[in-house]
Amino acid sequence: MSESTCEYCGHRNPAPTTKCGDCGAPLSVGAGRAAAAEPGDSAAQPGAARAEGRKRRIGQRLGWQWAAVLGGTVLTVLTGVFVARSCSIELAPPDLLPGHSAAGPEKLPGPLRGAVSCAPLNVETMQKCVIRAANPLLAGGITGGRDLTLYVQTGAADQLAAAIERWRGSGATVVTDGAVFAAIGRSATLHVAHTGNRLQLETGTFSDRKGAQVFLARSGFLG
DSSP labels, 144-207: TT--EEEEEEE--HHHHHHHHHHHHHTTPEEEEESSEEEEE-TTS-EEEEETTTTEEEEE---S
CB 206 within 8 A of CB 212: yes
Cα angle 98, 161, 196; round to 5: 100
Collapse the DSSP code of 11 into the 3-class scheme (helix H, G, I; strand E, B; otherwise coil) and give the result: coil
Q: Going residue by residue through the chain (223 aa), what tens digit of pLDDT does each one get?
A: 567 777 767 777 777 777 777 777 776 644 334 334 444 444 445 555 556 666 666 555 555 555 666 666 656 656 654 444 443 334 445 544 444 444 556 789 989 988 999 888 765 568 899 999 999 999 999 999 999 999 998 888 898 999 999 999 999 999 999 999 999 999 999 999 998 888 999 999 999 999 999 999 999 999 7
What is residue 17's predicted lDDT score, i.e. its pLDDT?
A: 74
CB 184 within 8 A of CB 172: yes
Please tell me the distance from the alpha carbon of residue 36 to that of residue 18, in angstroms, as a whole number.
Answer: 20
Buried b / exposed e across 93-103, counting CB within 10 Å, b at 16+? bbebbeebebb
Buried b / exposed e across 24-34, counting CB within 10 Å, b at 16+? eeebeeeeeee
Whether omega before 109 lies within 30 degrees of 0, making that bond cis, reads: no
How many other C-beta atoms are found inside a 10 Å radius of the C-beta of residue 81?
A: 10
**Furthest CA-CA distance within the chain:** 114
